[in-house]
Amino acid sequence: METETLQGLPAPLAEGQRIAHYQVVQKLGEGGMGVVYKAIDVRLDRPVALKVLQSDRRTILSKQRFMREAKAASALNHPNIVTVYEFGSDDGVDFIAMEYVEGSTLHELLNRRGAPREIMLEYARQAAIAVAKAHAAGIVHRDLKPNKIMATREGPGEQCSISGLPSRSPRRIRMRRKRSR
């Protein structure tokens, strides 16, 4: 049965645990289908976002959906969309390794007093451009909200990235803002 829960499920990942060549650093968050961890790719010595299926909700159907999401995500190539590095399984844990973007959520920024409106509007504009790119590829983000948008400072501008569970893609979408002079 497709909705039958798979047996022998792994416990949640712990700090220091290795999945394939990724070493878990910390849990970042979770959604309806997956848990996201910050991890280190020990082969390339770089941080990654490692998304795994939630062990208590892992079914044959969810595993198939997770694989479809990874395939769809890897098909997108855009400067505002974070790269998916790998989809795999190790010791019963299915995972997607993707580019790690560090920052604060747009939700956190909106709750702070004095968040510049111009910056928030620029993040929204860039999110719309990135979502349009995904839509053009037949991918729909069904749960876009401020707590899934990360804002960071990177180089000469600010960057923002959307994370979450689009219908076919767990991609994060990256936005940049030119600083005013």
Question: Which residues participate in catalysis according to the annotation?
Answer: 143
Question: What is the full DSSP assignment across 3-28?
Answer: TSBPSSPPPPP-TT-EETTEEEEEEE
Q: What single letter denotes the amino acid at residue 78?
A: H
- Cα gap 164→178, rounded to integer Å: 25
Helix (H/G/I), strand (E/B), else coil: 146: helix
Using the Cα atoms of residue 130, residue 132, residue 138 and residue 144 in order, give the sign of their dihedral: positive
Query: What's the Rg (C-alpha) of the chain?
Result: 17
- The residues, ordered by sequence, that sit 6+ positions from 17 with a Cβ below 8 Å of its Cβ are 23, 24
Backbone angles phi, psi at 114, to 5 degrees: 85, 15
